Chains A and B, each alone.
Chain A
Amino acid sequence: EVQLVESGGGLVQPGGSLRLSCTASGFTFSRYWMSWVRQAPGKGLEWLANVNQDGSLEQYVDSVRGRFTISRDNANNALLLQMNSLRVEDTALYYCARVGTGVVERGFDYWGQGTLVTVSS
């Protein structure tokens, strides 16, 4: 069974940093692109970043480029999101999602439950 479990969320002050992790199981992690998607309270979904299978290619939305860094540790089946210079508007539930291959190519076929990040003074 595919499982994605996020961790690392919490309360942080504006300007601070946080590192999110997503532990994957139930599939061969190194064969899939992975993504982070967030959802502000009561709002819609926002794609943040993708990373390819070996971590050599990263893609970002403009609102986080230069502040957030997506990476992966294939040896430990982990997806990471380093978040720096956090702003109040970064407050959201952060989801880890698997990008499908073959079926659901370039779409998300599995999602984690999310980890909540609150940026507030």
Chain B
Amino acid sequence: DVVMTQTPLSLSVTPGQPASISCKSSQSLLSSEGKTYLYWYLQKPGQPPQVLIYEVSNRFSGVPDRFSGSGSGTDFTLKISRVEADDVGVYYCMQSTYVPWTFGQGTKVEIK
């Protein structure tokens, strides 16, 4: 199975400051179709997850442009350019290039 490793596991950020979360996979997520099936989700307290980024760097409809995704192969990053209070929650990366689909452990983001 592909192991997804996120760092850090928790992050405390001052509003208006940037934040960055790393996600590393145990093998390349580049598929035979030439796509990289790496996603980022945010689970706000008491809610189901919601998709932020699909296929490494594409923002889902309605996601603010302060969120951006980058990376390739085995190394991926989610960046928040200016953290807002509404961004608190747990962020997960997920790969679906290989079955079983696997998630990272999650990164808890809180506001200072």
Tell me, in angstroms, the Cα distance from A45 to B14 when the chains sit together: 27
Knowing A45-B103, A47-B102, A104-B54, say if A111 contacts B49 (CB, 8 Å).
Answer: yes
Tell me, in angstroms, the Cα distance from A46 to B39 when the chains sit together: 14
A106 & B48 in contact (Cβ 8 Å cutoff): no
- What DSSP secondary structure best describes chain B's contact surface? loop
**B1 surroundings in chain A (CB, below 8 A):** 62
Residue of B nearest to A113 (CB): B48
A108 & B100 in contact (Cβ 8 Å cutoff): no
Chain A 89-111 interface 0/1 with B at a Cβ cutoff of 8 Å (1 = within): 00000010000100111111101
- Among B54, B61, B102, B105, the residue within 8 A (CB) of A107 is B54
A-side residues, CB < 8 A to B, are 35, 44-47, 50, 59-62, 95, 100, 103-109, 111-114
